[in-house]
Amino acid sequence: MTACLHCGLDIPARSGAAEGFCCPGCETAYDLVRGLGLERYYQRRRFDPTARPMRPEEDGAPLDFASHVVDDGEGLFVLHLMVDGLQCAACVWLIESVLTRQPGVVSARVNMTTRRLTLRWRGAASDADQLVGAVGALGYRLVPYDPVLLDRARTRHEKELLRAMAVAGFAAGNVMLLSVSVWAGHWQGMGPATRDLFHWLSALIALPAIAYAGLPFFRSALTALRARHVNMDVPISLAVILAAGMSLADTIEGRQHAYFDSAVMLLFFLLIGRYLDHRARGKARNAAEHLLTLGAVAVTVVDQKGRKHLLPPSRVEPGMTVFVAAGERISVDGKVASGMSDLDVSLITGETVPTAAVEGTKVFAGTLNLSGPLRITVDAVGDRTLLAEIARLVEAAEQGRADYVALADRIARRYSPVVHTLALATFLGWLVLGDIGWRDSLLYAVAVLIITCPCALALAVPVVQVVATGRLLRQGILVKAATALERLAGVDTVVFDKTGTLTTGHLDLQNPGEVDVESLRLASSLAAASTHPLARALARAHPDSVPPEGVREVPGEGMAVETTEGEIRLGRRRWCGVRETDDGVLPEMWLARPGVDPVRFVFEDRVREDATAVVVTLRDAGFDVRLLSGDRGASVSAVAAELGIEAWQAGVSPQGKSDELRSLAADGKQVLMVGDGLNDAAALAAAHASMSPSTAADISQTAADIVFQGVRLHPVLETLSVARQARMRVRQNFALTFLYNAIAVPFAVAGYVTPLIAALAMSASSIAVIVNGLRLNWGRSRWIRS
């Protein structure tokens, strides 16, 4: 049996394809690869005309995708790639459709915002090259995923769009001035020579501007045509090129009309829409890579002889002993082998009170060692740590958002074939039935292409997003995700974290009035020598305190100083000689002095000043308000009771929060998650929409759709209000766009619209959409019921 020219498999007796191919799919793929000039992927047929395809590393090909494949340990191979050439949701749909039809592929997900393709399949790692080739044959360029390279590419493309928009805007303004002169001169006896001069001046300005400003559309259209499919940029490019080409031909022949202004104006408004959309999408970043940087620090490993060596996390193995100095962040999961300290675990659990770490205590990557050196026996490192698990949760949740396709993109998927068919029908109809000649028939077809160009449709969502995000930004609210406002508008359930969200996240001394002045002064002076959060809160209660000489910090216990009367201690209850009781609901410190009863200092994380009013307003507006926290049950219960929140859960793990949100989503709820800790990061990414205060952990701000400034919760109400108003404006823009097309397209097909009138009508519809979006800045916030 002979081998297939494309895949190299044996050709069955009845393949249903042309000679040399095992199936029609391979025949099509082979033609596409050759059409794109990628013959290097096939073996040169000097000896065997039916040789198998080449590997990418052969024949000088630069990329070997198989070396970037990861085995997930469950029988699946995973490959993360960046996709260059994505323009709209139709591209996402095409890539995912092609890949999911490949043998062995389990899932193929494209994140439109980050341009990231995650591919999972069964088989062999070497299959990666063949799978990537299937997408490359469509005209898209794939490279291994690199966030730094992605940011550079995004910045470069954004600058290119901005330059193109500036050139098109400059040309449109000047060409329109010349066109106005021609129009005015038509009614005032302008001679043909003067008119032709203005047309030539317009051509000198417009043609170079079109050649440069149209590059983003022309490249995309050419790539699509080479791969034998069409996208939105194909009819746009046709309209611009035909309008400019016909205008140049008419100018050369000295005809009365030229439509350079139509082509340039069309490009200008299209570039505005694409730039605004690119800016909105570019605000979202991949949270998982940012999260993993918390654990990507050099690790101090202690060998069997007690010597210390710095190693990268990738070279640390379970069973090793690592040294973590006070003030360092832990980079591994493990157990404390020796030493005592306090750990700041707020990034993991959300708990503001540090926890004690003694021999045998389980510790996790991402936590901060506060007060004493520790030696830790490694249990897990790298992608096996709890930190990496949270990163996977965040990444999985973000990838789920790739399924979200805006209405404008869904329409755009069907836009190209409809417009092409309509323009072709107009041309043939007038040519065959109208008896007006090919020039005028083509002119009417160009008018159809121009008048149906999706400027207003492309602006319908981005202009509202930009106006809404600008309004929120002026109030200290940053909208980071392109689809955040659209998702927020459908929210019916609001879930709050406790620490740092409903509360300020800062501990304050609760009972200064119950403590005598001397005890407060002495305790504050001892506390001033420590960086422990409780000690710092106590020191703030008496700012003028100066640490006494000889004060020392006992890791995991507290502060002590020797005096002539004996040792004075400030720290944990048991260390200060106080019997353990059940009244330690709130964080506390004790001051123990010789001959004096111990003094208790109680601390509290106070709720935000407007938290109660915000919760009441949300509940009155019909929202289901809930509280999920990793804190202790007593403190969560107290805050829930104070704010009137009936549905609350305490001691919830990061995985538990994500599971609870998925459970609510399964019940038909659309949830807004408001949180600030690292333990909230996965939940923020998994929620239908998410918000985080600016005081939150970096990863939570990255995972959240929206970040708000200040110490108040009112931005939650403002954002929900603006989101619902924005949704209404978007719907109005779609209505305007459909009304415009319903009226203008029949006139264009009937021959009553010239390319200039088509460009003006298209511009007018775009301006109407922009003005409607700007109305978001007019008036005060108000609630709009779903």
Residue 336: the pLDDT is: 93
Averaged over 202-214, what is the pLDDT? 93
138 or 675, greater pLDDT: 675
For the cut 90, the answer to whether the pLDDT of residue 626 exceeds it is yes
Given a contact cutoff of 8 angstroms between Cβ atoms, the answer to whether 605 and 677 are in contact is: no
781 pLDDT tier (thresholds 50, 70, 90): low
Cα torsion through 682, 686, 689, 691, rounded to 10 = -10
Mean local confidence (pLDDT), 146-154: 59
Q: Which residue has the higher pLDDT, 607 or 230?
A: 607
Per-residue pLDDT band for 211 (boundaries 50, 70, 90) equals very high
Q: Strands of 172-320 (E only): list them.
A: 299-302, 308-311
b/e code 518-546 from CB counts within 10 Å (16+ = b): ebbebbbbbbbbbebbbbebbbbbbeebe
Q: What sign results for the dihedral spanned by CA atoms 565, 569, 575, 579?
A: positive
Q: Is it the case that residue 462 has pLDDT exceeding 50? A: yes
Per-residue pLDDT, 60: 36
Reply yes or no on whether the pLDDT at 127 is more than 70. Answer: yes
Burial class of 83 by CB neighbour count within 10 A (0 to 12, 13 to 18, 19+): buried
Facing residues of 121 across strands? 77, 105
Q: Which residue has the higher pLDDT, 324 or 653?
A: 324
Residue 46's pLDDT band, with cuts at 50, 70 and 90, is: very low
- pLDDT at site 183: 75
Q: Are 544 and 522 in contact (CB under 8 A)?
A: no
In this prediction, residue 123 carries a pLDDT of: 85
pLDDT above 80: residue 273: no
Confidence bin at 47 (pLDDT 50/70/90): very low
Residue 254 has pLDDT above 60, yes or no: yes
- Given a cut of 90, whether residue 629 has pLDDT beyond it is no
Q: 707 in the Ramachandran plot: left (φ > 0), alpha (ψ -120 to 50) or beta?
A: beta
Q: Which pLDDT tens digit goes with each residue over 224-249?
A: 777 777 666 777 788 888 888 888 98
Beta carbons within 10 angstroms of residue 30's beta carbon = 22
CA–CA gap between residue 555 and residue 544 (Å, rounded): 25
> Residues in the chain, how many?
786
The tokens describing 579, both together, are 């019997």
- Percent of the chain past pLDDT 70, that is, above it, reads 75
pLDDT at 583 over 70: no
**72-109: pLDDT as tens digits:** 777 888 888 878 766 655 577 678 878 888 888 888 88
Degrees to nearest 5, angle at CA 148 with 147 and 152:
115
Q: Stretch 402-421: mean pLDDT, rounded? A: 57
Phi, psi of 337, rounded to the nearest 5 degrees: -90, -35
Q: 523-571 pLDDT, tens per residue?
A: 999 998 887 878 888 988 888 888 888 888 887 788 999 988 889 999 9
pLDDT at 384: 65
Q: Given this model, what pLDDT does residue 247 score?
A: 87
Chain segment 281-318, per-residue pLDDT in tens = 554 444 444 444 555 556 888 888 888 887 777 678 88
* Six-digit token string for 51: 């040789």
pLDDT tier, 393 (very low <50, low <70, confident <90, very high otherwise): very low
Q: Which residue has the higher pLDDT, 625 or 606?
A: 625
Residue with tokens 């002026």: 474
**pLDDT greater than 50 at residue 38:** no
In sequence order, the β-bridge partners of residue 665 are none
Show the tokens assigned to 92: 């996402």
pLDDT score at 415: 63
Q: 497 catalytic, yes or no?
A: yes
The amino acid at 706: I
Q: Which residues face 559 on adjacent strands? A: 553, 570
The CA R_g of the chain, rounded to the nearest whole Å, is: 33
- Least-confidence region, from 94-108, 460-474, 485-499: 460-474
Annotated catalytic residue within 497, 605, 631, 680 = 497
What band does 407 get if pLDDT is binned at 50, 70 and 90? Answer: low
- Within 10 angstroms of residue 318's Cβ, the number of other Cβ atoms is 13
pLDDT digits (tens, 9 = 90+) for 722-769: 988 888 888 898 888 888 888 888 888 888 887 767 777 877 787 788
Percent of the chain exceeding pLDDT 90 equals 12
pLDDT in tens, 8-35: 555 665 545 566 666 555 555 555 445 4
pLDDT in tens, 670-726: 999 998 766 677 788 888 888 988 766 555 566 778 878 777 888 899 999 998 888
Does the pLDDT value for residue 512 go beyond 60?
yes
pLDDT at 376 over 70: yes
- Phi and psi for 666 in degrees, rounded to 5? -65, -25
Closest CA to 650 of 632, 677, 673, 663: 632
